[in-house]
């Protein structure tokens, strides 16, 4: 198996790990009208609330989150796209693109996210994917990479032109979590108004974001609306308060604006984003390692006040050499890992480094891989609490 595909599978496994939590937190929560719903914390991927979150349903235009992030990652945002007859003639919500005109890919992505242009979605797909079919293949490959197991894409816009175009609230939260790690996507998603110069015209196209949460909810940071007759109302929205970023997804929800605000307010009241392990030296180690092991980033996790006492940790490290001399002249990088548990369930882990040899960039960011976990052999284990 090619290395990049192996790492993609490992990354997908890491997403599921970080989202595996005590069911009590997800079972309790605010009442919502949605058929499917989920509330996820961005940093950890923890599900704070869910209702039928793994049930596949029609998703309408929140499909365009996938279309947008693939376009952003293509590296072609500043290139101009020639609009085809097929793209210009796409039914439903439209930017009123004209056949033969050229539009920067960046502007098409803004029009896609703010005004939900179906014509824009097709133009993006044809340009980035080479064809609609090629782009749909890319969408499903990306979904597999991210760990979206209850999803199948058949088009770039979410129109009900296929019986088997679907996703789940949980999968759409995973996708949004992934996309929000990209600063360009994050900026586009939060934009309220965008002006796009129109080729051959003296006036610009002006797009105002359909996401009312940006206007009416002060902590809102972005999202995407959706609606078709069969999918009904769908909504993805994001919010941030006191450093905690949340993702809310509702499918088939007649009261989505109020439900999203209610979920956000509930979570901001119930949970704090806690620095469970702080960057720097770690405690609870064998004497040879005392004051010599460090974590190179702070590990944050959303917790209720009552959960904070249920946090424990386990540490796996290489055996310290009897003569104090490491093979090759220095300790392995990393020299071990710190596994963090909540009520006996692993919620994350951090690499540990010896005597300040930690790299500036961690090997396990939110979208890192577990490649080092499986390479660490001949460990000894210690158990204890965390350092903060």
309: domain CATH number is 2.30.140.30
Q: Which of 248, 208, 233, 247 is nearest to 110 (CA)?
A: 208
User: Would you list which residues are annotated within the binding site?
Assistant: 224
Burial of 225 from C-beta contacts in 10 A (0-12 / 13-18 / 19+): buried
Name the catalytic one among 64, 106, 142, 232: 64
Domain-ending residue, one of 270, 287, 318: 270
Q: Which of 113, 76, 79, 118 is nearest to 97 (CA)?
A: 118
242 shares a domain with 129: yes
Name the catalytic one among 61, 93, 167, 220: 61
278 is catalytic: no
296 shares a domain with 197: no
327 is catalytic: no
121 shares a domain with 248: yes
280 shares a domain with 187: no
310 shares a domain with 255: no
Domain-ending residue, one of 252, 270, 288: 270
165 shares a domain with 83: yes
Question: Which residues in the chain belong to E strands, given as ranges?
Answer: 36-41, 47-51, 80-82, 102-104, 193-197, 204-208, 220-228, 232-241, 244-251, 272-277, 280-281, 293-295, 299-303, 311-318, 336-342, 345-354, 379-384
Report the domain count for the chain. 2
Domain harbouring 189, CATH code:
3.40.710.10
Question: pLDDT (tens digit, 0 to 9) for every residue of the chain, 388 residues total?
Answer: 443 344 444 444 444 444 444 445 554 678 899 999 999 999 999 999 999 999 999 999 999 999 999 999 999 999 999 999 999 999 999 999 999 999 999 999 999 999 999 999 999 999 999 999 999 999 999 999 999 999 999 999 999 999 999 999 999 999 999 999 999 999 999 999 999 999 888 899 999 999 999 999 999 999 999 999 999 999 999 999 999 999 999 999 999 999 999 999 999 999 999 999 999 888 766 677 777 888 989 999 999 999 999 999 998 888 888 877 888 788 888 988 999 999 999 999 999 998 766 565 544 444 343 333 333 323 334 333 333 3
202 is catalytic: no
Is the distance from CB of 176 to CB of 65 less than 8 angstroms?
yes
**Global pTM exceeds 0.75:** yes
What is the per-residue DSSP string for 155-181?
SSS--S--TT-BB-HHHHHHHHHHHTT
117 shares a domain with 14: yes
118 shares a domain with 173: yes
Q: Degrees (nearest 5) of the Cα angle 222, 214, 16?
A: 30
64 shares a domain with 206: yes
Name the catalytic one among 56, 116, 189, 237: 116
User: Would you list which residues are annotated within the binding site for substrate?
Assistant: 224
Report the length, in residues, of the chain: 388
The pair of structure tokens assigned to 328 is 């090759």
Q: Is the peptide bond before 334 cis (omega within 30 degrees of 0)?
A: yes
Is the distance from CB of 285 to CB of 28 less than 8 angstroms?
no
Domain-ending residue, one of 270, 301, 319: 270
What is the domain extent for residue 227?
A: 3-270
Rg (CA), the chain: 23
290 shares a domain with 162: no
Grouping H, G, I as helix, E, B as strand and the rest as coil, residue 129 is helix
CA-based end-to-end distance of the chain: 40
301 shares a domain with 192: no
Ramachandran category for residue 378: left, alpha or beta (phi over 0 → left; psi -120 to 50 → alpha):
left
pLDDT at residue 357, as a whole number = 62
120 shares a domain with 42: yes
């Amino acid at each position: 198996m090619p290395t990049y595909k192996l790492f993609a599978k490992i990354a997908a496994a890491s997403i599921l790990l970080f989202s595996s939590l005590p069911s009590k937190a997800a079972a309790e929560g605010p009442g919502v009208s949605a058929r499917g719903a989920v509330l996820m914390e961005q940093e950890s991927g923890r599900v704070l609330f869910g209702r039928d979150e793994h049930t596949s349903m029609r998703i309408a235009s929140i499909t365009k989150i996938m279309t947008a992030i693939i376009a952003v990652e293509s590296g072609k945002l500043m290139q101009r796209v020639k609009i085809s007859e097929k793209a210009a003639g796409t039914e439903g919500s439209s930017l009123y693109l004209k056949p033969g005109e050229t539009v920067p890919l960046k502007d098409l992505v803004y029009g896609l996210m703010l005004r939900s242009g179906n014509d824009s979605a097709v133009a993006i797909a044809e340009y980035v994917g080479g064809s609609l079919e090629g782009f749909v293949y890319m969408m499903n490959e990306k979904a597999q990479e991210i760990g979206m197991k209850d999803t199948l894409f058949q088009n770039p816009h979410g129109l009900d032109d296929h019986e088997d175009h679907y996703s789940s609230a949980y999968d759409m939260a995973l996708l949004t979590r992934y996309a929000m790690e990209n600063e360009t996507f994050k900026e586009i998603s939060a934009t309220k108004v965008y002006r796009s110069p129109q080729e051959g015209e003296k006036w610009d196209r002006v797009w105002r974001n359909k996401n009312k949460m940006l206007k009416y909810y002060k902590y809102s940071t972005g999202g995407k609306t959706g609606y078709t007759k069969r999918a009904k109302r769908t909504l993805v929205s994001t919010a941030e308060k006191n450093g905690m970023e949340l993702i809310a997804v509702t499918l088939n929800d007649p009261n989505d604006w109020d439900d999203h605000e209610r979920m956000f307010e509930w979570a901001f009241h119930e949970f704090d984003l806690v620095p469970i392990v702080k960057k720097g030296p770690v405690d609870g180690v064998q004497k040879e390692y005392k004051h010599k092991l460090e974590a190179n980033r702070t590990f944050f996790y959303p917790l209720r006040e009552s959960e904070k006492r249920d946090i424990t940790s386990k540490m796996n490290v290489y055996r310290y050499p009897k003569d104090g001399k490491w093979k090759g002249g220095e300790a392995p990088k990393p020299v071990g890992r710190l596994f963090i548990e909540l009520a006996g369930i692993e919620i994350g882990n951090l690499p540990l480094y010896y005597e300040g040899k930690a790299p500036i960039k961690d090997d396990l960011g939110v979208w890192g891989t577990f490649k080092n976990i499986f390479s660490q052999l001949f460990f000894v284990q210690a158990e204890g609490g965390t350092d903060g």
